[in-house]
Structure 1
C-alpha cells in the first residue's frame, strides 16, 4: 500500500493562476494601506485557491511483479559438434535454477538453423523473445552459443545486461577446405583452374601438408598432397558434357572438431566450345537450304558445307581455267581431318566417283570409333549409286528396296518414338495437324529404333548405334515442306535440331538416362527409358545410408520420384545399369565456415550493456543483482538488474479538504478579519 497526494483542479489551471494573481495584488494593497485584517484575508484566499486545486490522498494497492530473464539456446548445426549440445542443455538448466532461486522468471528460447543456408539467426530469436515480454520486467539476457551468429545487424534494443556463455574448449581445432573461383560452366577439352585452400583454426596441429582426394562423378578418387594455409591452383579438364560433380576431400584429422567442412562439392556444366559439322549435299535441291539454315542458326556450330555442283560426268565444254568453283578437298576432309568433325551429314548424296571406297570405309571406321553420320535420303538412295551400296552398308540403319513412294502422307510418331527424347513431345510444339510430305524412300529390315513412320506405315526416321558412334536415316527429302508451311507445316526445325544433337551425344537427349535436379535439400530424380518399366532407384547418402524408392511414370518414357535429403553432401543414385551423382545443399554451408567458438562478434554489443562473456567449460557463473548502469559481470558471476515492476490492484482517493470544512474555515477567517478591522 502506497499513498501520494494528487490534485484534481476544479477550474482550469490558467484561471486558478489568474485568481491567485488577483489575490496577491489585493493582499499587497491591504498591506500597503496598513489594514489590520490582511493576514486573515490572505489566509482565506489561500484556502480558497487550495480548495480549487482539489487536493486528495491517493492510496494504491500494488502487487509486485517478478523480473524476467531470457535464455537463448543455440541449436544450430555448429552447436551439434562434439558435446556442445549436451553442454548447452546442462548449462541452461543450471542457469534456470540459479535465476529461479533469485526469484526471476525464466524464458527459454530454442534457435535452429536458418532457412536457405542463412546460418544462425541468434539476434532474430532474441528480438522475437523480447517483443513478447514487458520491457519493464526484463532483468537480463543470456546467450548459450558458440558465438557464431549471422544476423548481428538485426540486434534489438537491449533493456538489461546481455551475457554470452560459449560452448568452446581450449583444445578445439578444425580444418576447412575452401574452393574459390569455381565456374558454373566450362568448355570441354579446355583446361580450367580452380583455386583451393586448406585452413586450420583453433589449437590445430602444426601440419605443413595434408592429403587431398579428388573425384569426379563419384568415381574412385585420386590422392594428392597439398600445403596447409596457402592457395593451390588446380588445373583440370571436364571429362564429359552436362553436369560434372567434383568432390574434394581432405581426411579428418585426429581430434578435429568436425569433418563436415573437409569436403567441398563443385558442380560444373560441361559445354562444347564449337560443334564441327560437315554437310555434303549431292546436288542442289529445295531442301538443301533447310539443313544449312538449321546449322547456321546455332552460333556454337562450325559448318563446313559442300554441294556437288559439277560432277565428273558433266560435260558442258566450259574451259577449266574459266571455272570459279572451289575444289572439293576430299582427302583432307575424309582422311586427315575426319576425326575433327562431331557430325557428318550426307544430304541426297550418291556415289559419283568423287569419294573413293577407301574414303567411305574411313567414314564407317569414324562412326565405329565414336563419330556420327546422318543420311538424309532422296531418290538417289534407292538407285544403283546409293551410298548403301558402298562400304557404308555396314552402318546404314536400313536397306533401300529401290522403291520411291511418291504419294502424300502425314508423318506419324511411333509408340517407341513417343518415349524417345528425339521425338517425345513434338506434337505439343505445333498447333493443328502436321502438313503432309510427298515423297519417301522405302526401306526394309531396319536396325535400331524406328521413331517415325510415313506412307503405308513404312519406317521414316531410324536411329542406331554402331560401335561407339551413332547413325540415323531420314528416308525422305521432304522435311523442308514443314519449314515452308505446306498444309500448316510442322515442327521441322525442332525435329532436326534434336536429331542433330542426339547424333552429337548431347546428354539431355540420351534415351537411357538417370539424373536429378536439386532444389535446396529436395531432389527430383528423373529416369528416362525406352522400356515400359524401370528398376527402383537406390539412393546412397553422404553417410553411406541407402534408401530405395520406386519411380512413377509421369509421361511416356519419363519416370520420376521426389526425395528429401536429410543432410548436405554428395548423393549417389543407381537404377538398373544407370548411375548418377548430385550434390545437395550449398557448396560451403554457412554453419561450418567457422566452427571455433568465440565471443568476438558479440563483444561490442555485450560491452554496451555491461554484460560478460564466459566459457561453459569453466563452469556456470553465479547470479548477482546489480543496480542499473553498474557493471554486470565479474569473476565467477554475472549480473541481472532488478526492475521493481508492479501491477496496481486498486486506487482509493480521499479529498484532503472536504467542502464543509473549507466553507467553515473560510467563514471563520472572513469573520475574524471583519471583527479585527471593526475593533480598530
Structure 2
C-alpha cells in the first residue's frame, strides 16, 4: 500500500504562517493588477509544499499462509461400530491433502470427552477465536454430529465449514430411558419408577413397534420381567425393603434385528433409592423425674422425624400420700395398649431409670423381650436403681440386656473413655473431643459423678468405660438391638460441667444405631461410583482385618479385590471395571450391587449420527455436509463467492478459500521531489512571474 505523507522542515505553525504570507503577496499582486500574480501564487505554493516535506510511504508486505482448521471428534460415541476407523482415516487423509496445498497451514484439534458431553460448538468457537479471521480458509469437522452444546455453535464463520459425518445410514439403536425415579422411599411403601424405551435411526422392520422385555431386580433378587412397547411410559412399582441403599437394576433384553443395534450400553440402568422410615416412633418411659430425663426428651423432640410418646412415673405404687390417682396424671398410663397391643408399632423403646416396682407386670417385660428378638430396639439408661432389687436385670427383660450388674456403684468422678471397640464403632468413633490415639487415652471431656458396676455379657461390645468398668455396652439380640448406659450423668455434658462433652451427638448416635440407621452400622459394605467410572469399595467392620472382597462380573466370572486399612475399622480399595455393566460386590454375608456405566453416559443417550446441531452453521458459511460412508472427499481451493463443494471424478470434493492475507514488515519512505527539484520549481515559477511582469511594463514604455 502506497500513500502520501508529510515530513515538514519547519514546525507546522511556521509553515502555515509562511503560506499565509505568500498567499497575501499573491493577493496584493492581483489587487495591483500585476500580470505575474498567478506565477507568484504558484511559486508561493511550491515553497509551502517544499517546507511541508511531502513524502511517498510504501509498505513492505509479506504474504501469510492460509489456515485450515481440522476438528477431529474422538469422544466416547465415536467408539460405536465403524466410527473410530472412519474418523481416523478421514482426518489423516484430509490432513495430508491440506499439507500438500501451497501456502496453507493446518490446525488439527482433537475433541474429546467432557462431563457435559461432546462440546462441538465450544470447540469450533474456540478454534475460530484463536486464529485471525482474515487467514482462516476453511473449517473441516470430522464427527458423528452428536453435539451436546448446540447453543454454543457459532452462527457463521469467516470461511466455509464442512462437516464429515461418521456412521452408517442403516444405524439404529434402542435405549432404556428412566424418566422418573425417586431418590427416597418409605420402607415397605411402594414408590414408582417411570421408564420407557426409545428407538432411534433406521429401525429394522422386524423390530419396529415390537415391545421390549424389561427385567427388574431389587438388590440382586430374582428379576421380574415385563413387556414395554416403544415410546409408551411404564410405571414400575418398587418397594424399598431396608433402610439405606436399595438398588433397582433395570435391563432390556437384546431386541435382535439385522443389522444389530449400535450398542447395549444404554439398555441398562440402576436406580438407587434410599429407604427411610416414615416417622421414627419412640416410646420413652422415665421411672422417676431426674435431671437427665430432659436430655432424652429434648433430643427426641428436636428431631421432626421422631414421634415421641413419653411417660414419667411421678409417684411409685409404694408411696402412700392419699392423693387420688386421677389427680396425679392428665393421661393414665396405657400399659396394656403400649406394651401388648401396639408394642410392635415402635421403632425404639427407651427405659430411662426405670425400676421394677409393680407398675408393669412380668408379662409386659416378656413382650419387650420378644419385641427385641423379633427386630425391635431397646435402650436402657440406668441409675442407682440398677444395683438394687428393683433392677431391670432381675425382670424377664434381663436375658436380652448386654450386661449384668454386680450390685455395686461407682460413686466418684470419672472421665468416660473409649475402648478399642469404641474407637471403631460408629456410635462412638470420631465423637467431638475423642482421642485420636490408643484406646483408654484421655479425651477432652468433662467428668461424670457416678455409674453402676456391671459385667458385660459374652459377645457384647463395650464402647465406653468408667475407670475401666463398662459404661456403654451394645449388643445384637436375635434380629434386634440393645444398648445399655450404666450412668444417668450424661446430662452433665449438656450443662458444660468441667467443659462438658458431646451429649446430644452421643445420645443421637445410640438411638439411631438401635434403630438400624445405615450410616451407624458397625458391619457395612459400601460401593460408590468414582467420577472416572471406577468403583470405590469400603468395608466397615469391628474386626482387626478384612479379607478381599469378591466382585462378580456381568459374565459371571469372579475377581478378588484386596482391601487396605484406611482408618480404625475401615478398609477400602478402588477398582476399575473392565466394561460397563451391573456388578455384584460381596464381602462375607454382605452384598452390594453397583452399575458401572460408560465413562461418558451422555454420549450414549443419542447414538445415531446426525447433522442437526451443525446444519445452521454449514448453511450460513457456505459449507457442505458429507457422509464418510460415501468416501472421504478431496480438498480443492476455490475463490470466495464460488461454490465450496461439488462432485469430482469418483468422489466429491470440498473447497477452502484462499484469503491472500499479508503482514507488513516495514515502511519505505522517500521524498516526493528531491530538494534541488523543489528549488528549480520555485525558481522557475519566480522567473516566470518576473518575465510576465517585465513584458507588461515594456509594452507600457513603447506606448
Same fold by TM (over 0.5)?
yes
Instruction: Label 1:443 to 1:179 Cα distance change in 2 as closer, same or farther (>3 A).
Output: same
Q: How many residues align?
A: 675
- Aligned mate of 1:660, from 676, 684, 687: 676
Judge conservation of contact 1:61–1:648 (CA < 8 Å) in 2: yes
Deviations 1:408-440 (A, max 9, x none): 433322222222111222362698343123241
Q: Aligned equivalents of 1:479 and 1:432: distance in 2?
A: 15
1:186 is paired with a residue whose SS is strand
CA distance in 2, matches of 1:661, 1:256: 87
Task: Select 1:248's aligned residue among 230, 247, 250.
Answer: 250
- Cα 1:284/1:40, change in 2 over 3 Å: closer
Per the TM alignment, residue 328 of structure 1 is displaced from its structure 2 partner at its CA by 2.9
Q: Which residue of 457, 469, 477 corresponds with 1:458? A: 469
Alignment partner, residue 302 of structure 1: 307
Kindly provide the CA deviation profile for residues 592-638 of structure 1, in whole angstroms up to 9, marking residues without a partner as x. Answer: 22222221222222222111122112222333333324443345332
CA deviation after TM superposition for structure 1 residue 450, in Å: 1.7
Q: Give the gaps of 5 or more residues in structure 1.
A: none
Any conservation in 2 of the 1:440–1:454 contact (CA below 8 Å)? no
- For residues 72-151 of structure 1, the aligned pairs below 5 Å read 72-103=71-102, 104-114=104-114, 117-151=115-149
Task: State the 1:281 CA deviation.
Answer: 2.9
Residue of structure 1 in register with 2:638 after alignment:
626
CA distance in 2, matches of 1:298, 1:213: 39
Aligned pairs for 1:317-466 within 5 A: 317-318=322-323, 324=329, 326-426=331-431, 428=433, 432-443=444-455, 445-455=457-467, 457-466=468-477
Distance 1:168 1:444, change over 3 A: closer
Deviation at 1:145, TM superposition (A): 0.9
CA RMSD of aligned residues (A): 3.6
Deviations 1:553-600 (A, max 9, x none): 343222344556787765543444433344567999322222222212
- Shifted more, 616-625 versus 515-524: the winner is 515-524
Q: Which residue of 2 aligns with 1:226?
A: 228
Cα-to-partner distance string for 1:349-392 (whole Å, 9 max, x where unaligned): 34344433333222222222111222333344344444333433
Q: How far is the alpha carbon of 1:660 from its aligned partner?
A: 1.9
Alignment match, 1:639? 655
Q: Deviations over 1:280-309 (max 9, x none)?
A: 333334433333232222221112223334
Would you say the 8 A contact 2:75–2:112 is kept in 1?
yes
The superposition leaves residues 293-326 of structure 1 with CA deviations (integer Å, 9 ceiling, x where unpaired) of 3222222111222333455555544456766554
- Larger mean CA deviation between 421-430 and 160-169 belongs to 421-430
Deviation of residue 70 (structure 1)?
A: 0.6
User: CA, structure 1 residues 13+259, in 2 after alignment: closer, same or farther (shift >3 Å)?
Assistant: farther
Distance 2:345 2:148 in 1: 52
Q: 2:547 corresponds to which residue?
A: 535
Structure 1 residue 72, shift from structure 2 partner: 0.3
Offset from partner CA, 1:59-104 (integer Å, 9 cap, x none): 7665433322110001111122111111111111222233334423
Answering whether residue 612 of structure 2 is matched by residue 600 of structure 1, we say yes
CA distance 1:198–1:33, change in 2 (3 Å): farther
TM value normalised by structure 2: 0.85
Distance of aligned partners of 1:4 and 1:272 in 2 relative to their CA distance in 1, 3 Å threshold: same
Report the TM-score, using the length of structure 1 for normalisation.
0.87
Pairing partner for 1:671 from 675, 679, 687:
687
Which is worse superposed, 144-153 or 161-170?
Answer: 144-153
| Kept after mapping to 2: 8 A contact 1:41/1:669 | yes
Q: 1:293 aligns with which of 298, 303, 321?
A: 298
- Greater shift after overlay, 185-194 or 479-488? 479-488
Alignment partners' CA distance in 1, 2:349 and 2:142: 68
Structure 2: give runs of 5+ residues left out of the alignment: 436-442, 697-703
Determine if contact 1:395/1:471 at 8 Å carries over to the other structure: yes
Distance (Å, rounded) in 1 between the aligned partners of 2:623 and 2:14: 52
Other structure's SS at 2:297 match: helix
Cα-to-partner distance string for 1:524-567 (whole Å, 9 max, x where unaligned): 54322111111234556778897755434343222344556787
Q: What is the CA–CA distance in structure 1 between the aligned matches of 2:654 and 2:23, rounded to whole Å?
A: 59
Distance in 2 between residues matched to 1:341 and 1:481, nearest whole Å? 29
Three-state SS of the structure 1 residue aligned to 2:639 is coil
Deviates most, 84-93 or 573-582: 573-582
Q: Distance in 2 between the 1:632 and 1:49 partners?
A: 55
